Amino acid sequence: MTRMITRKFAVFDCEDAPKWKGHEKLYTETFGGAKATWDIFKCWDGELPGLEAAEQFVGIFITGSHFSAYEDMPWISALMTWLHDFLQREHSTRIVAVCFGSQVAARALGGRVGKNPSQRFVLTVEDLQLTEAFAQKDYFRAAFEQQTGGQEPPASLKIIESHGDQVLELPEAAQLLATSATAPNEVWTVGDRLLAIQGHPEMAPQEALSKIHATLASNGRLSEEEAAASRAALEGTPPDSAAIQRIMEAFVEQGAASDTPLPPPEEVRAGKKPEEGTTPETGTSYGLTGWLPSVTMPAVSLPSLALPAWMPRPGLATSASSAPPGHDSSAPQETSAQPAEAAALLDTATTATQAADSVQISADPEGKSQGDILPGSGAPTGGRPEAGKHLPESSAAEASGSGTPLDVRPGPSMPLQESEAASSCAADRAAARRAKLHAQAERLVDDMAGAVSAELDGAVANYELLFGVNTVSRAEFLHMQQELANWQPLMQARTCSSFEIQRKREACRPLLAALEGLEARMESVEGNIATLDADTRHLARQLGVPPDA
């Protein structure tokens, strides 16, 4: 495959919070160089490139997110499926996945993701303990050759950590490259095609303080002690972000310099699809589903029926769709049958068998046959029925196993061949009756099993509905919490303004009191002036001075 002259890169944006708008610049302004062109895909809005079209990119960067990688959201499932399928293809495009991106990649390849083992949010600067496998990577050594002047690369690096979840179990195809105190699976790779990093090498400490620390400290996800320790680490421990960024860029450039597409590792080819991965036991990063119990459907135990020894035990179907051959499950059936009805049918079959066996045909020394009727069959044992009488129709019907009475008349004994034929005919009718009852009993058992299966399906559907409602509520809660965080600065500013107005109002109160006293004095002066004017006019009249003089 020939690459285009233009070096194309892509950012898979997984963050939709307003305060992080434009955060793709953390990648576009750091990697690729001046001649690079970038495509931005808003994964949270369902945007993903085609698999073949994505092979034109030199590198793909998957961002962090405030979502949890194990949340049941369509766009997260679509991203996992895309990653799984893209890593199955032969190409030289390199993928760098950061924080949430590394967790989604782990799930896509069969790993397991969940909450931090401490159940606390991690926001600090930590040491990465590098493995020997990492130190031997060509792109790792290339990232430090020019910077260290031929000296050995460092054994550890510092990185900003900001996560409530992490990769708990690596995929089978993954190779561990670095660990940290709070995330054992900190950095890992898959066949030098995917580089996954739990920390945030793209982020500056001041940005972590202003956009993450302030929110976590205000909503209680960091205690006062944790918030103080986090601020001290972010302000006092400079991370090795530039060094880790050089490693990321060298990893991507190594793929760009290769003319031979890399085949996916065998573990990836044989890996599990995303939907076959282990579902984490935790809920969201806010712990909203901790109250939801995990449902384990119990094994269904159908009532055991006492079947005669000659009757084979029917196979139990697990659903109405698994009816035995020749049984139309779509036809109307008696779905209200109870176990007692099935037992009654089986008892009837047993009674018919015993009645048929009660008629025994045997040959005497003279070649004659004698019909021995067992007790309860209508005649004494050891002799024929009385002359001129027949067996009761009910007994004869039971003996024959059908609705046709078996007519036993007095007279010369039947030949042995005829008696054997009569016995065989009765046995055939009894066998047909048994088969019919057996089929009825089997259908009843199948219907009971189908009803139980339908009940279980209904329970599972109710649980899925409950889980879907909980997922929607969780998303609404996350949105409300983000809106509250956005409004918090305005609320703080309003509080400050209220305090300032109150302070100025208190300062103006003495001035208002002095002004009221001044107004009272002015009114007194005006009254004195009016009195003086009246006295002046009165004196003028006494002296005879004209008013206008």
- For 271, the 3-state DSSP assignment is coil
340 contact partners, CB below 8 Å, separation of at least 6: none
d(CA 282, CA 116): 10
Rounded to the nearest 5°, which phi and psi values hold at 80?
-65, -45
* Pairwise pLDDT comparison (384 vs 87), residue with the higher score: 87
Helix (H, G, I), strand (E, B) or coil at 196: strand
High-pLDDT (> 70) share of the chain, %: 67
336: pLDDT confidence band, cut at 50, 70 and 90? Answer: very low
* Pairing between β-strand 369-373 and β-strand 175-179 as defined by DSSP bridges: unpaired
Residue 422 binned pLDDT confidence (cut-offs 50, 70, 90): low
Torsion of CA 12, 15, 19, 24, to 10 degrees: -10
**CA neighbours closer than 13 Å in the CB half-sphere of residue 413:** 19
Strands (E), 336-464: 359-363, 369-373
Q: Give the integer Cα–Cα distance in Å for 238 and 267.
A: 38
**What would the pLDDT profile of 353-384 be if each residue is shown by its tens digit?**
555 444 443 334 444 434 443 334 344 444 44
Burial of 535 (0-12, 13-18, 19+ CB in 10 A): exposed
Dihedral sign (CA 120, 121, 125, 131): positive
What's the CA gap between 13 and 419, in Å, rounded?
91
Per 3-state DSSP, the chain is made up of helix, strand and coil in percentages (nearest 5) of 50, 15, 40
Beta strands 175-179 and 156-163 are unpaired
Instruction: Choose between 438 and 167: higher pLDDT.
Output: 167
pLDDT given at position 240: 93
- The two structure tokens encoding residue 69: 């990688």
Question: How far apart (Å, rounded) are the C-alpha atoms in residues 8 and 32?
Answer: 8
Q: Is 248 helix (H, G, I), strand (E, B) or coil?
A: helix
Looking at the chain, the number of H-run helices and the number of E-run strands are 14, 13
pLDDT at 132 over 60: yes
> Is the model's pTM score more than 0.85?
no
Q: Is the pLDDT of residue 165 over 90?
A: yes
Which two tokens mark 443?
Answer: 């259908």
Question: Which tokens in the block code for residue 111?
Answer: 């790993």
What is the DSSP secondary structure assignment for residue 155, as one 8-state letter? S
C-alpha to C-alpha distance for 179 and 161, rounded to whole angstroms:
12
Q: Which of 50, 142, 67 is nearest to 107 (CA)?
A: 67
pLDDT of residue 358: 47
Give 102's contacts (C-beta < 8 A, 6+ positions apart): 62, 167, 188, 196, 197, 198
Domains of the chain: 7-276 (3.40.50.880), 320-456 (no CATH)
What are the beta bridge partners of residue 115? 165
Find the DSSP H helices in 237-338: 241-256, 266-269
pLDDT at site 107: 96
Residue 256: pLDDT band by 50, 70, 90 thresholds?
Answer: confident
